[in-house]
Amino acid sequence: MKQKEKSVTGWLADFTGTHKNLYIASVLLAVCGVACSIVPYVIMGDVVSRLIAGERQWGIYLREGLLMAVLWLARVIFHALSTTCSHKATFHVLGNIRRQVCDKLARVPLGRVKDTPSGSLKNIIVERIDSIETTLAHILPEFTSNLLAPVAVFVYLCVIDWRMALVSLVSLPLGLLAYMGMMIGYEESFKNTVIKTRILNDTAVEYINGIEVIKAFGKAQSSYEKFKIAAKEGADCYIEWMRRCNVFFSIAMVLFPCTAVSVLPIGGLFVKNGTLAVADFVLCLILSLGLTAPLITVMSYSDDIGRLRTILGEVTEILCWEELSRPEEDKKKPADYSVTLKDVTFAYKEKEVLHGIDMQIRPGTVNALVGPSGSGKSTIAKLIASLWDVKSGSICIGGVDIRELSLEEYNRRVAYVSQDNYLFDDTIRENIRMGRMDATDAEVEEAAKKSGCHEFIMQLENGYDTVAGGAGGPLSGGERQRIAIARAMLKDAPVVILDEATAYTDPENEAVIQSSVAKLVQGKTLIVIAHRLSTIADADCIFVVDDGRIAERGTHRELLENGKLYAKMWKAHIGVKNSEREGVSYA
């Protein structure tokens, strides 16, 4: 909780890590650039004094002109080196931020991630973090140079004539007043643009991901209308904000640079009274013209700083999410790979869905979870897979509470294949290899053969080197499932959880998968969730889940003899299979 109290500067210091030296070098180089930009004004003052004094040796002017050119070139070089250092550091910082966010998502409960729209997370991790690159890369060198330069010019003006230094600042407070008018309601307006942009992004992602359903059910018009409204509101919030600021901005930009309006008449009066030399008057006029431009540049970063604060707020909100309660290293070593649930309760937000679950799963056995839809079967599987933490009670592996095992080590012990199998935008070979990154190509192909997907992979254009595409789009649901099962087989974890993993497979391939799973689980603990009761009839133990409770447990024969819920489900299942054999018509 203490993390939330950290300031933006504190978080940036954490994100910068070992790259602080690059930012320090950027600032030092920017200071050198400022020095190179100020010295020419001193030289120019000397030139003006010599011209007024009647100096006619052109070699002196040529030498001083060349010196100013060299200093200008040095300023450009120092600025380039400064921004190079700051950009290099910034790209490392952005990488650190993204890594920390992604690592955080892997440590928080799955429900917390699921509750956040994927469009919002994608927008924060990609676009929002990327949008602060310009601010982070330029704010230090630009602020340093653009603040030091006018300060140095003002000090030099004070050295020449302190009265002229003060006179040159007359337009500054007037411009600031107009600028302050532009900042009225800034926080509310900026927050509104962030919210509307986020809604637009979420709506766009929803529209694109659901385009198949939209077309199938003729909802293109209504869905597009929702997106159109979000796009219009996303544009209007910026337009209204800019319209409200335009008058103040125009006045500020007119008043800020008008130093000559005060310097010319007042300086002329001082010259007339003999209290200011003509050469000094000309030099003060020249210097005053360059006094406010850097300050305008500094103020132009106010929006960027506001954006930086908002985006870092979104990032740090994610980094402060509550994590799964896990140690860095295992506190104890499991004696075996039995799975025990003791009085487990679990709630989605405020709604409790599991009520006092007790289960004993022996190592090396096949166990099935069955029950009506929504009874809590998948929730139990996700809890065992450590995707959530229990509300109360405990889950133990080999007699050790999983909350005493490190998340990384626990993930090596459990292979989980869900109903919704995700394939990355990489080759099929690499998608399978994610089960065990050091696996050889031969081991990858062997796992594919065992899971019944070798044949269809070889029929693809590039075989195992075929790119699966985003989420495995080009493949059928059954093909994606078999690849996911091959990935789990390759992982060779001692505990395997199959959550409706054969839902999309045809009967022929399902038989192949069941045969390979039977070989896979020799000496391992298997937990299967299935609606097709015939696929788990030979399980060592079947747990019947009903309304978040274990209603029955036993073997297939024992549960049929009990004549309760399982027996009714089996009777309904057999009836459906008979209807399928008889050829039910939907015409």
What own/partner pairs with CB < 8 Å and gap ≥ 24 does 516-524 have?
516/450, 516/451, 516/452, 516/489, 517/485, 519/450, 520/450, 520/489, 520/496, 521/364, 521/366, 521/496, 522/364, 523/364, 523/494, 524/337, 524/363, 524/364, 524/493, 524/494, 524/495, 524/496
pLDDT, tens only, 83-104: 899 999 899 888 888 888 888 8
Q: Are strands 525-529 and 366-370 parallel, antiparallel or unpaired?
A: parallel
Partnered with residue 570 across adjacent β-strands are: none
Q: In which band, very low, low, confident or very high, does the pLDDT at 448 lie, cut at 50, 70 and 90?
A: confident
Average pLDDT (312-331) is: 84
Q: In which band, very low, low, confident or very high, does the pLDDT at 506 lie, cut at 50, 70 and 90?
A: low
pLDDT, tens only, 459-470: 888 888 888 865
Nearest-angstrom CA–CA distance, 537 and 514:
12
Q: In which band, very low, low, confident or very high, does the pLDDT at 509 lie, cut at 50, 70 and 90?
A: low
Measure Cα distances from 355 to 340, 371, 393, 408 in Å: 15, 15, 10, 28
Would you call 455 exposed, middle or buried from its count of C-beta atoms within 10 A (0-12, 13-18, 19+)? exposed
Cα dihedral 229, 235, 241, 242, rounded to 10, equals -150
Structure token pair of residue 473: 């789009």
Whether the Cβ atoms of residue 468 and residue 423 lie closer than 8 Å to each other: yes
**359 has a pLDDT exceeding 90:** yes
Sheet arrangement for strand 339-348: 351-361, 339-348, 392-397, 400-401
Average pLDDT (511-532) is: 72
**476 has a pLDDT exceeding 50:** yes
Average pLDDT (195-214) is: 77
H, E, C per residue of 53-100: CCCCCHHHHHHHHHHHHHHHHHHHHHHHHHHHHHHHHHHHHHHHHHHH
**196 has a pLDDT exceeding 70:** yes
Would you call 482 exposed, middle or buried from its count of C-beta atoms within 10 A (0-12, 13-18, 19+)? buried
Residue type, 413: R
Nearest-angstrom CA–CA distance, 259 and 287:
10
Would you call 470 exposed, middle or buried from its count of C-beta atoms within 10 A (0-12, 13-18, 19+)? exposed
Whether the Cβ atoms of residue 344 and residue 357 lie closer than 8 Å to each other: yes
By C-alpha distance, which of 404, 385, 408, 410 is closest to 332?
A: 404
Average pLDDT (410-436) is: 84
**357 has a pLDDT exceeding 60:** yes
Structure token pair of residue 322: 């509550």
pLDDT, tens only, 99-131: 888 888 888 887 778 777 777 788 788 888 888
Nearest-angstrom CA–CA distance, 55 and 194:
62
Q: State whether residue 424 is helix, strand or coil.
A: coil
pLDDT of 219 reads 64
Measure Cα distances from 430 to 99, 185, 315, 435, 468 in Å: 21, 52, 31, 9, 10
pLDDT of 473 reads 56
Looking at the chain, the whole-number percentage of residues with pLDDT higher than 90 is 10
Sequence-distant (6+) residues with CB within 8 A of 391 are: 345, 346, 347, 352
Structure token pair of residue 455: 């044949």
